Amino acid sequence: MAALPSQPQVYIGAALVLAGVLVLDRPRTRAPARGVALGLAVAGCTAVYTLWDGFAIRSLGVDLLTYLAVANVAQVVVLSAVVRDFRGALGQWRSAVPVAVLTPLSYGLVLLALSFASVGTVAVGRTLNVVLGAGLGAIVLRERPHVAGLAVVLAGVLLVSV
């Protein structure tokens, strides 16, 4: 297993990212517990599979394309078992095509990044999706983003990547 990073900026950057995400997720209502709990669950799952991916790529030396293909086949098998209305799902295939292409592409890029950069850098860099999501929320959904939270997340990512 890889050693923990010794550079203090990695820990400071990760703390900034976490703080920024919490500021971004500052609720506008009084009942945020469920959203925060689900967000933390997603973050925990992402952290676990990022660590596993880093271990598989760096320590086990698995081939990137094979690893990605096996992951995608596993997704198809699991999701096919979950879909109850298969014909109804097939009727929506046009709207699913962008997701079907972009999801494995983004995951493949993360795996490629893990072969070049540290797991910590890639993990923190993955949080840029929060910034992009907040930006798209502001543009598409006309939400008011917490600019301070976005700035703190970006500062954390930049700090880790130096």
Q: Which residue has the higher pLDDT, 32 or 57?
A: 57
**Please, which pLDDT band fits residue 32 given cuts at 50, 70 and 90?**
low
Instruction: For residue 1, tell me if it sits in a domain.
Output: no
pLDDT digits (tens, 9 = 90+) for 105-145: 988 998 898 888 888 778 777 777 777 887 888 888 887 77
pLDDT at 4: 53
Instruction: For residue 67, tell me if it sits in a domain.
Output: yes
CA distance 70 to 72: 5
pLDDT at 133: 80
Instruction: For residue 3, tell me if it sits in a domain.
Output: no
Instruction: For residue 96, tell me if it sits in a domain.
Output: yes
Residue 139 token pair? 């543009």
Instruction: For residue 130, tell me if it sits in a domain.
Output: yes
Domain residues for 93? 8-161
The mean pLDDT value for 23-45 works out to: 68
Instruction: For residue 2, tell me if it sits in a domain.
Output: no
Instruction: For residue 81, tell me if it sits in a domain.
Output: yes
**Please, which pLDDT band fits residue 46 given cuts at 50, 70 and 90?**
confident
Instruction: For residue 157, tell me if it sits in a domain.
Output: yes
Q: Residue 26 pLDDT > 70, yes or no?
A: no
pLDDT at 6: 61
Q: H-type helices in the chain, by residue range?
A: 8-24, 33-54, 64-82, 86-90, 93-116, 119-125, 128-140, 147-161
Interior angle at CA 122, CA 43 and CA 118, nearest 5:
125
Q: In total, how many domains does the chain have?
A: 1
